[in-house]
């Protein structure tokens, strides 16, 4: 259980943490390969294999989530394709109640994401979550992904949070490791970031299975 009396800042990841990562996994691993296959007149399986290999090479870089980078590289309008299926974005269960709790408890709520600002805009408009955040920080604002220790040094300078009085929730262990190494005191892993793999967990960090578990009874 998080000692809320000792916490002023709630740092929250978006995709896979507050929102179901199924949308993103489906979008990049199935939807885009289908569009790419159609456009280039190649079989779906071939397109999928090619794209997954291309993604892999950009993991842990800012290109990975840069919708304009992939638009150029794949010659597809990634923003338009995302807009087309935006009604499939889902909030994880318990998130709204948790955000209400943070608001009532007067915590400073900060969205910290590797997602591209355009993606953040589409998703927060779609889910109506925007009003719950005091601040939104995208890793492209800093110029480094969250997996990088340098990201956290810069983020702290920009956001002025007290790392001893902060909790950070993310669904990515590499990101949590960087935040923990930087010194954020309470670091929690969102289990089952993609709801289709709900047993996905961390061997290192305390779990958040359901967001209502974080609200004091
Ligand atoms: Mg995430």
Distance 21 CA to ligand 1 centre (A): 7
Report DSSP letters for the chain, one per residue: ---GGG--EEEE-TBTTTB-THHHHHIIIIIHHHHHHHHHT--HHHHHHHHHHHHHHHTTSGGGG-HHHHHHHHTS-HHHHHHHTGGG--BPTTHHHHHHHHHHTT-EEEEEESS-HHHHHHHHHHHT-GGG-SEEEEHHHHTS-TTSHHHHHHHHHHH---GGGEEEEES-HHHHHHHHHHT-SEEEEES-SSGGGTT---SSSEEESSGGGGS--
Write down the pLDDT at residue 111. 98
Query: What domains appear along the chain, each with residue ranges and CATH number?
Result: 4-20+91-214 (3.40.50.1000), 23-87 (no CATH)
Distance 15 CA to ligand 1 centre (A): 4
Distance 151 CA to ligand 1 centre (A): 15
Distance 35 CA to ligand 1 centre (A): 24
Distance 138 CA to ligand 1 centre (A): 12
Write down the pLDDT at residue 113. 98
**Along the 217 residues of the chain, how does pLDDT read in single tens digits?**
799 999 999 999 999 999 999 999 999 999 999 999 999 999 999 999 999 999 999 998 999 999 999 999 999 999 999 999 999 999 999 999 999 999 999 999 999 999 999 999 999 999 999 999 999 999 999 999 999 999 999 999 999 999 999 999 999 999 999 999 999 999 999 999 999 998 899 999 999 999 999 999 8
Say which of 6, 66, 141, 148 is annotated catalytic.
6
The yes-or-no answer on residue 171 being catalytic is no
Distance 42 CA to ligand 1 centre (A): 31
Distance 195 CA to ligand 1 centre (A): 13
As a whole-number percent, the residues of the chain with pLDDT over 90 amount to: 97
Q: What is the pLDDT of residues 174-203, one digit of tens each?
A: 999 999 999 999 999 999 999 999 889 999
Distance 17 CA to ligand 1 centre (A): 6
């Amino acid at each position: 259980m998080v000692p809320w009396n000792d916490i002023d800042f709630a740092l929250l990841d978006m995709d896979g943490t507050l929102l179901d990562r199924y949308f993103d996994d489906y979008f990049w691993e199935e939807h885009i390969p289908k569009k790419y296959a159609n456009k280039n007149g190649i079989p779906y399986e071939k397109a999928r294999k090619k794209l997954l290999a291309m993604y892999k090479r950009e993991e842990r870089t800012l290109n990975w989530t840069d919708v304009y980078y992939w638009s150029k590289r794949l010659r597809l309008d990634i923003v338009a394709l995302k807009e087309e299926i935006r009604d499939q974005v889902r909030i994880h269960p318990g998130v709204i109640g948790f955000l209400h709790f943070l608001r009532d408890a007067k915590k400073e709520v900060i969205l910290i994401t590797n997602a591209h600002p355009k993606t953040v805009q589409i998703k927060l408009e779609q889910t109506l979550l925007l009003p719950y955040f005091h601040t939104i920080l995208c890793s492209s604002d800093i110029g480094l992904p969250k997996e990088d220790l340098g990201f956290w040094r810069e983020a702290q300078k920009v956001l002025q949070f007290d790392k001893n009085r902060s909790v950070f929730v993310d669904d990515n262990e590499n990101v949590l490791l960087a935040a923990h190494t930087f010194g954020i005191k309470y670091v929690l892993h969102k289990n089952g970031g993609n709801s289709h793999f709900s047993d996905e967990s961390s061997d290192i960090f305390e779990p958040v299975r359901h967001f209502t578990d974080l609200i004091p009874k």
